[in-house]
Amino acid sequence: MTMLNTLVAVCSAYAVFLFAIAFVAERAAMRGQARWLRSPIVYTLSLSIYCTAWTFYGAVGSAVRSGFEYLTIYLGPSLVLIGWWWILRKLVRIGRSQRITSVADLISSRYGKSNLLAVGVTILAVVGTTPYIALQLQSVTLSFEVFGVGDLPTGEEQGHTALWVAAGLALFTVIFGTRNLDANERHNGVVMAIAVEAVVKLFALLAVGVFVVWGLSGGVSGALQKIDASPLGAWQIDGGRWAGLMMLSAAAFLCLPRIFQVLVVENDNETHLRTASWAFPFYLGLMSLFVVPIAVIGLEMLPQGSNPDLFVLTVPLSVGQDGLAVLSFLGGFSSATSMVIVAAIALSTMVSNHVVMPLWLRYAGGGAKVSGDVRSVVLLARRLSIIGVVMLGYLYYRLTGGGAGLASIGLVSFAGMAQVMPAMLGGIFWRGASRIGALTGLTLGFGCWGYTLFLPSFGAGVFLPDAWIAAGPFGIGWLRPQALFGIEGMDPLLHAVVWSLILNTGGFVLASLASFPQPLERLQGAQFVNVFEHSAAPRSWTGRVAQAEDLMIMAQRILGARDAQALFEREAQLQGLGGTLPAPTPDFLETLERELAGSVGAATAHAMVGQIVGGMSVSVEDLMAVADETAQLMEYSARLEAQSQELARTAAQLREANAKLTRLSVQKDAFLSQISHELRTPMTSIRAFSEILRDTTGLKPQEQSKYASIIHDEAIRLTRLLDDLLDLSVLENGQVNLNLREGRLSDVLDRAVAAAAADEHGARLRIRRDRGAENVWLNTDLDRLSQVFINLVANARKYCDAERPMLEIRVRQGDRLVIDFVDNGTGISSEAQDVIFEKFSRVSDQKAGGAGLGLAICRQIITRLGGEIRYLPGQGGAAFRVTLPARIAMAAQ
């Protein structure tokens, strides 16, 4: 009894020591002196939570029961570490670049951030870890029992011990596992404490081993002789279990939540893995080195029927080495506590991040606007999860009655967690792995494991009826839990592992092959599988569709209204924006996430920002949104461009019109002076000569007649001018009546050419015509048409400045009748081309032959006739094209 009291005192002192270590480490980390906390050795030692009480006590028990088989549990992880280049390196890089917080997070993140998968893995982890925690409680309880020999504690008291231990561990974990949810989800205090515990347990086991080998067996050779002489003397191993357990432990090492926690989540530097690659196998080797000698000595010295799981304690006790026994006890206590602590942290992270927070955000998140409420919810969720997880372990312990050997409980747990392996390895090496595949595999594997191993582990009749185990459910023989598909006589564990992993992997691969992943899955798949090509540093936010207002609401709830508003205002100013809402740029999101992480932990902050932003790092939704935006922008800018082109065209047209107007105005001015001159000249001579006729007496008759004819000629000139003006105005007002007649084009042209030649100085102009083409019958106002032709020919005659002027008249009949008048002069300059059809327009002042109304009249006439006349540039001289509609032209008959 005094021994027990001493033990309780030692335990309490040790617990205080651990609290102190954790506290000091936390303080150091907070002051930024955490370099030594983050050395590769601390990392390696923290990995040693793999060695739980199962190792410390159970390995010896396992060695007694099945010889060297216990080694497989350490060989597997050693191989994984030695082969770090293959898997761990990638896993750690992914964990760091994707900010993975747990196994469940890894799986869910890989398969398109599926929360269903995360919840599934979380449940699997909780169910798989529960037996393991029970195992730790059982071992601590048993070790207490050893020291309480003589008191013969009843089952009730055993339960008390386990409960006290569970409560103590839950307390420690709640204090150090949830006290700092700050940046990047790392727990310096806890890591340091488990590193110290790793040293304690190694030291204790080595001490017992050294004592056994050199103290009790007379050195190495003596120990080896004793081993050969013992029941364990000959190599005897079940080959299937040797290979199978090695594989299982390797798989479990990758998937166990607590190992993942220290291996990936708490990893601070990828290079630490390099040190761990040799140091951790070394540690494992040391841990398992003295197991067989202890087992052999225990078998030799202790009475038949002693619990081999406790040889580490009972051997020193039996030879009176109480101090060594207490040290050994502390080693076992360390192993148990460190495992429970880290497992509880890892599981609580999963439970709160993947189960509690999503539910809370969905059902309660909307209304609550009080500051700090989310933080308290997260903390509460974690604390309750920790307590829940530890208590589940306790419940399992009470349910199974603590009967089974430690090793077999541990293996049940291993086999459960190993179900995550296909999805995990498939996820990081195979881009084709899909969410459906992972779900199928996990469901099949988990179901098979539960049915063939987990439920039967409670003993027949607890969850599965006796009859089921013996004859299968409803008498279906091939569904017997321990002989699936009629394969009997297999080791139950191996049977469960083989079938569950086969079904798991098979389902995973087949469903992956058959399904088509969503875009997000494919993106994540590429980022995971090709992590070394994509990431040198942790990814930052790249989403930018977040609503600043939503972020503000969320930040207020966590940081408090004042702090949040101050933060947002500061950021808005930094961005150079007025007001209080900054644009949700990646930089701002990162800052905000960091701020939030201080309150609720990085993972939750990331998840919460992610929830509003719409994805962690860059999601497909983001990409699609960007694509949409870009498309809209592009469309918008295309429209703008079209509009601006149109504007440019309009502006050019306006400029043109303006220039034309200016030219017209100039011409009008010129014409007005011209027309006044034109009118004035004949008027002057008419007045002058009529005055002569009136005032001069004695004029000769021939003089009289000459003067009168001059007056007459001038009057005719005036009349012609006025006729033209009248004609044009009549045409323009549409008051003209067309006199439709039938006639031949060649006749019209003949008349026009003859009329034009009748003008004063003709004859010099040569006219080339194609009579054959002119043989076209017309039904139109022939007089008006010939007026146009006369005008065109006369113009050529008047203005063609070639040495040997020539006019070519080409006639072409397609769907319209086209008549071109092309001369060989210099043509009309391009600026003049615009105005020649205007009234009072004259090409050159020098040859002022007319009033500049001819072409204007021509255009009016042709328009009235339903055709078109325009200047034809680029013909070598002045060229006019008259186009008449086909109905006017009738085919030659």
Partner 1 sequence: MSDSDLPRRGKPPVFLERQSYRRRRVNDAARVLPFIGTLLWMIPLLWPENGAAVRSSSAIIYLFGVWGLLVLGAGLLSWRLSVQAREGDPERDGTGVPGGSGGAP
H-run or E-run covering 444:
helix 435-449
Residue 257 CB, shortest distance to partner 1, in Å, is 24
Instruction: List, as one string, the DSSP characters of 572-610.
Output: HHHTT-SSS-----HHHHHHHHHHHHHHH-HHHHHHHHH
Cβ contact 411:244 at 8 Å: no
CA-based end-to-end distance of the chain: 142
CA pair distance 263, 185, nearest whole angstrom: 13
Q: Report the nearest approach of partner 1 to the CB of residue 269 (Å).
A: 8
Q: What values do phi and psi take at 299, rounded to 5? A: -60, -35
Q: How near is the Cβ of 246 to partner 1 at its closest, in Å?
A: 7
Q: Is 530 in the site for partner 1 (CB under 8 A)?
A: yes
Task: Kindly tell me which residue out of 15, 34, 175, 237 binds partner 1, with binding defined by CB under 8 A.
Answer: 237
Q: How crowded is residue 286: how many other Cβ atoms within 10 Å of its Cβ?
A: 13
Taking alpha carbons only, the member of 67, 433, 409 closest to residue 230 is 67
Q: Six-digit token pair at 567?
A: 């933060």
> Considering only residues 227, 490, 692, 757, which one is a binding residue for partner 1 as defined by CB under 8 A?
227
Residue closer to partner 1 (CB basis): 83 or 372 = 83
In the list 108, 217, 277, 482, the residue contacting partner 1 (rule: CB under 8 A) is 277
Helix/strand/coil (H/E/C) assignment for every residue in 485-529: HHCCCCCHHHHHHHHHHHHHHHHHHHHHHHCCCCHHHHHHHHHHH
> Which residue of 26, 60, 62, 90 would you call a contact of partner 1, by CB under 8 A?
90
# binding residues, partner 1 (CB under 8 A): 51
Task: Choose the binding region for partner 1 from 52-60, 76-84, 133-141, 846-854 (rule: CB under 8 A).
Answer: 76-84
Beta carbons of 592 and 553 less than 8 angstroms apart: no
Rounded least distance, CB 222 to partner 1, Å: 11
Q: Is 242 in the site for partner 1 (CB under 8 A)?
A: yes
- Single out the residue of 531, 618, 828, 869 in contact with partner 1 (rule: CB under 8 A): 531
**In sequence order, which residues have a C-beta less than 8 Å from that of residue 309 and are 6 or more positions away?**
57, 58, 60, 61, 139, 142, 405, 406
Residue 278 or 777 with smaller CB distance to partner 1: 278
Select from 271-279, 491-499, 725-733, 840-848 the region that touches partner 1 (CB under 8 A): 271-279
Is 819 strand, coil or helix? strand
| 478 is a contact residue toward partner 1 (CB under 8 A) | no
Q: In what order do the strands lie in the sheet with 777-780?
A: 741-744, 777-780, 889-890
DSSP letter string over 855-870?
HHHHHHHHHHTT-EEE
Question: Of the candidates 59, 75, 501, 752, which one interacts with partner 1 according to CB under 8 A?
Answer: 75
- Taking the C-alpha atoms of residue 775 and residue 786, their distance in angstroms, rounded to an integer, is 16
- Of the listed pieces 229-237, 506-514, 701-709, 808-816, which binds partner 1 according to CB under 8 A? 229-237
User: Which one of residues 224, 380, 553, 581 is an interface residue with partner 1 (CB under 8 A)?
Assistant: 224
Binder of partner 1 out of 21, 25, 29, 81 (CB under 8 A)? 81
Beta bridge partners of 819: 811, 882
* Residues 532-551 as x/- pattern, contact with partner 1 by CB under 8 A: xx--x---------------
d(CA 72, CA 410) in angstroms, rounded, equals 13
The CA distance from 177 to 171, in Å, is: 10
CB of 75 to partner 1, least distance (A): 5
Q: Which of 5, 271, 673, 681 forms a contact with partner 1 (CB under 8 A)? A: 271
Q: How far is the CB of 255 from partner 1 (least distance, A)?
A: 18
- Among 79-87, 251-259, 795-803, 874-882, the segment contacting partner 1 (CB under 8 A): 79-87
Estimate to the nearest angstrom the gap between the alpha carbon of 398 and the chain centroid: 48
Q: Which is nearer to partner 1, 225 or 580 (CB)?
A: 225
Q: Does 45 bind partner 1 (CB under 8 A)?
A: no
Among 18, 146, 246, 501, binds partner 1 (CB under 8 A): 246
Among 154, 235, 578, 830, binds partner 1 (CB under 8 A): 235
Judging by beta carbons within 10 Å of its beta carbon (0-12, 13-18, 19+), is residue 363 exposed, middle or buried?
A: exposed
Does 219 participate in binding partner 1 (rule CB under 8 A)? Answer: no
Q: Is 41 in the site for partner 1 (CB under 8 A)?
A: no
813 pairs with which residues across the strands?
A: 817
Q: Is 86 in the site for partner 1 (CB under 8 A)?
A: yes
- What residues does 744 pair with on adjacent strands? 777
- CB atoms inside a 10 Å sphere around CB 11: 20
- Site for partner 1 (CB under 8 A): which residue of 33, 236, 709, 844? 236
- Cβ 216 to partner 1, closest distance in Å? 17
Choose the binding region for partner 1 from 127-135, 268-276, 340-348, 354-362 (rule: CB under 8 A): 268-276
Applying CB under 8 A, which residues contact partner 1?
67-68, 71, 75, 78-87, 89-90, 93, 224-225, 227-228, 230, 232-237, 239, 242-243, 246, 270-271, 274-275, 277-279, 281-282, 285, 289, 292, 429, 529-533, 536
